[in-house]
Structure 1
Amino acid sequence: MGKIVVIGSINMDISTELHDLPQIGETIKGSNVGISPGGKGANQAVAAAKLGGDVMMVGMIGDDAFGADALANLNSHCIDVTNVWTVPETTGLAMILRENGDNRIIVAPGANNAWLDELPLETIIANASILLLQNEIPFTVTEKAVDIARLYDVPTIFDPAPVDQFPLSFLRKITYLTPNETEFKQLPEDILQDETKAVLVTQGKNGVEVHDESGVNHVPAFPVDVADSTGAGDTFNGAFAVAMTSGKNLQDAVAFANKAAALSTTKIGAQTGMPKLSEIEESGT
């Protein structure tokens, strides 16, 4: 199995449940406070590692207690953290307010925006078998990483979340794009040119729509009882990277990732819900 390099965000998530949102100047009580590791980059790395992937995480943490916790979490999953760098900033934080089943999320990027110029991206990417990216770090870093990957013929997977006005020239450099159906509608048309081999549109309970040179194919969802969909997209991306570095063809890789994402929704929490390889193997078809 080849090396999966994830370049992206590392956060800590702080969540609480509210009966009502506070008004300006008002203080209210919350309940069921939770603190857990997150960030789309770290989530993807953990998902891949739990499925047996050989994973390196590349990212920034702050010189604070949250940074130490985030690093310890990555280490606990046997992820290579050689290139997780500490900078004099706060670790990225996501503050999640849950009100009557709805989420409101405030993200403070912190260290995720403080990328170091001396980071040896070329050496890191040259030794990768696949490169996994998202959009929670400065776009200049992501764009540079993709250009380096092209030089060394390293396939790239890009989850365009949170969605932005990406240059079409950039999107066409990506090997596999993995938007959800809402994000897909916001991307330019005619992406399938140049180096893009497939666009994988994740549709939750409706499965995945695969756009490639053969046309549009649908991979049905794996049926589960959903408890919490948080992190399902990150699980899909991590699992897809594992499948591709294991030698699966595109269709089988999508089916594997689809199942992993579905199983992740049967448990509460993003990283805690991500399945291990044994769970996928035991789940049947």
Structure 2
Amino acid sequence: MTKPQQKYSVFFGDVAEDEYYAAPFFPSAGDKLIVKTLPPQYGGMIANAASIFAHYGMATTFISQLNSGPLTQKLLRQLREAGLNTDYVIFDEAVPDSKCIILISGDQHIVIIPKLGITHSEITPQMFEHIAGAEFLFTSLTDARPFRMGELTAPQVLQALRRRGVKIVMDLDVYNLENHPSGLIEYCDILFMNSRGKKRFTSVGNDIQQLLAAGATAIVVTKDSEGCDLHTAKGVKSIPGYKVEVVDVTGAGDTFSSSFLYAYSQSGDLAAAAEFANAAAALSVGKVGARGGMTTDKAVRAFMQERAVLV
């Protein structure tokens, strides 16, 4: 009897070393500000989500386009120690070291992400077959736009993957037209964005209902402690969140999206996945670092049960 293949997912995108600075206030143009240097953390939106997803015990492959220098080796070593498969990483010496600058003031933050200048990410036949066997391909518009496979462009690559049964997932975060000028959204099965991103997303003509009518499974709009709105073909369902003491909100969205996919993979229930993700994100903001959301199913459900008793 043939043993069924283990289910896995692929996360394709950024990994970085996050340089943290604490400020008494956010500067405006012309300001000069003395900040406190905090210990650096591992980061990158896609790598954060992948690490949190893997920490739930899910088989996870991480792919990115990076140089082969010492910083890259450190970042990849940490991901492998976290249980991720990095066998399909694309090495490109023209790509600069991947770093982000995060400025914290109170319970808010600003993330500065330097461009890496990637315009072509070649998907080899072997890489394509690996991605095609995945349950989810989690990426971003920035990371997916350079996809090429021979003569195939990014839309054609995503279409080919969807035909193979892969669910395409993207996090639009605080969506803005400058960073997300291309299409590709129409090839997604699940989209995440926060409430600020939704305003920008719809203000430039994007229509959530049209995307759902065209075949998207869910569009999820996160609203911090107020929870999230789950948009599906059946309508919109508001899922309440949790008010907690905030230490660092960096990576809360990454925790939400990866926890949502974990719970959805386990249950097939979108609303239950959103409830679980709200709780996981609430737990994550009590810790410093973009990967503060690394937790367990048991811990999240214990938190949900405790809060249900208190209500």
**Structure-1-length-normalised TM-score:** 0.87
Residues 241-276 of structure 1 show CA distances to partners (whole Å, capped at 9, x for unaligned) of 212222331111111112111111111111134323
Alpha-carbon spacing, 1:193–1:167, altered in 2? closer, same or farther (3 Å): farther
Aligned pair partner of 1:59 in 60, 64, 68: 64
Q: Which runs of 5+ in 2 are unaligned?
A: 1-5, 148-153, 306-311
TM-superposed CA distance for 1:183, in Å, is 1.0
TM-superposed CA distance for 1:70, in Å, is 0.9
Aligned pair 1:149/2:161, yes or no? yes
Aligned pair 1:208/2:220, yes or no? no
Aligned pair 1:97/2:109, yes or no? no
Greater length-normalized contact order (CA 8 Å, ≥ 6 residues apart):
1
Q: Is the 8 A contact 1:8 1:42 kept in 2?
A: yes
Secondary structure of the structure 2 residue equivalent to 1:13: strand
Q: Which runs of 5+ in 1 are unaligned?
A: none
Moved more, 175-184 or 219-228: 219-228
Q: Is the 8 A contact 1:5 1:131 kept in 2?
A: yes
Which amino acid in the other structure matches residue 47 of structure 2? A
Q: Is the 8 A contact 2:109 2:250 kept in 1?
A: no
C-alpha separation in 1, matches of 2:46 and 2:124: 17
TM-superposed CA distance for 1:197, in Å, is 1.7
Which amino acid in the other structure matches residue 294 of structure 2? M
C-alpha separation in 1, matches of 2:217 and 2:293: 30
Q: Structure 1 vs Structure 2: percent identity of aligned residues?
A: 23
Aligned pair partner of 1:109 in 109, 115, 118: 115
C-alpha separation in 2, matches of 1:174 and 1:199: 10
Equivalent residue for 2:245? 225
TM-superposed CA distance for 1:60, in Å, is 2.0
Aligned pair partner of 2:11 in 6, 26, 36: 6
Equivalent residue for 2:49? 44
Q: Is the 8 A contact 1:136 1:161 kept in 2?
A: no
C-alpha separation in 2, matches of 1:108 and 1:168: 19
Equivalent residue for 2:191? 177
Q: Is the 8 A contact 1:198 1:211 kept in 2?
A: yes
Residues 200-225 of structure 1 show CA distances to partners (whole Å, capped at 9, x for unaligned) of 11111110101112111111003432
C-alpha separation in 1, matches of 2:37 and 2:183: 45
C-alpha separation in 1, matches of 2:175 and 2:275: 24
Secondary structure of the structure 1 residue equivalent to 2:260: helix
Moved more, 62-71 or 233-242: 62-71
Alpha-carbon spacing, 1:67–1:49, altered in 2? closer, same or farther (3 Å): same
Moved more, 13-22 or 255-264: 13-22
Alpha-carbon spacing, 1:144–1:277, altered in 2? closer, same or farther (3 Å): farther
Residues 53-102 of structure 1 show CA distances to partners (whole Å, capped at 9, x for unaligned) of 11111112222222112111111110111112332132221122345665
C-alpha separation in 1, matches of 2:28 and 2:284: 32
Aligned pair partner of 2:172 in 142, 160, 166: 160
Aligned residues: 283
Moved more, 96-105 or 120-129: 96-105
Equivalent residue for 1:73? 78
**RMSD between superposed Cα atoms in Å:** 2.8
Alpha-carbon spacing, 1:35–1:49, altered in 2? closer, same or farther (3 Å): same
Q: Is the 8 A contact 2:52 2:294 kept in 1?
A: yes
Moved more, 76-85 or 94-103: 94-103
